[in-house]
Amino acid sequence: ARQWVGRYGDPRGKDIDAVVDWIERIPYTETRSYVQRVMENYEVYKMRISGKYDIVGDLVNGRS
């Protein structure tokens, strides 16, 4: 993970457009798709458990 962040940067703390761009620039299709599915499912289950929904805040802050 440290090498990946060193090479591609750390999206945490950036604005939402920068985070989405970072995800879209993941050079491996399978990894990019995996990250997208994990974020989708995280938000679904968070909403079901807590009733809270804040995908923008979660993406910007790197919460999971």
Is 11 strand, coil or helix? Answer: coil
Q: Other C-beta atoms within 10 Å of 55: how many?
A: 15
Mean pLDDT to the nearest integer, 14-41? 91
Domain that holds residue 8: 2-61
Please, which residues have CB within 8 angstroms of residue 17's CB and are 6 or more apart in sequence?
none
Q: How many domains does the chain have?
A: 1
Average pLDDT, the chain: 85
Q: Is the pTM of this model over 0.85?
A: no
Q: Other C-beta atoms within 10 Å of 31: how many?
A: 12
Q: What is the pLDDT of residues 6-27, one digit of tens each?
A: 988 998 888 888 988 999 999 9
Is 64 strand, coil or helix? Answer: coil
- Give the pLDDT confidence score for residue 37 in this predicted structure: 94
Mean pLDDT to the nearest integer, 37-58? 81
Judged against a pLDDT cut of 90, whether residue 31 lies above it is answered with yes
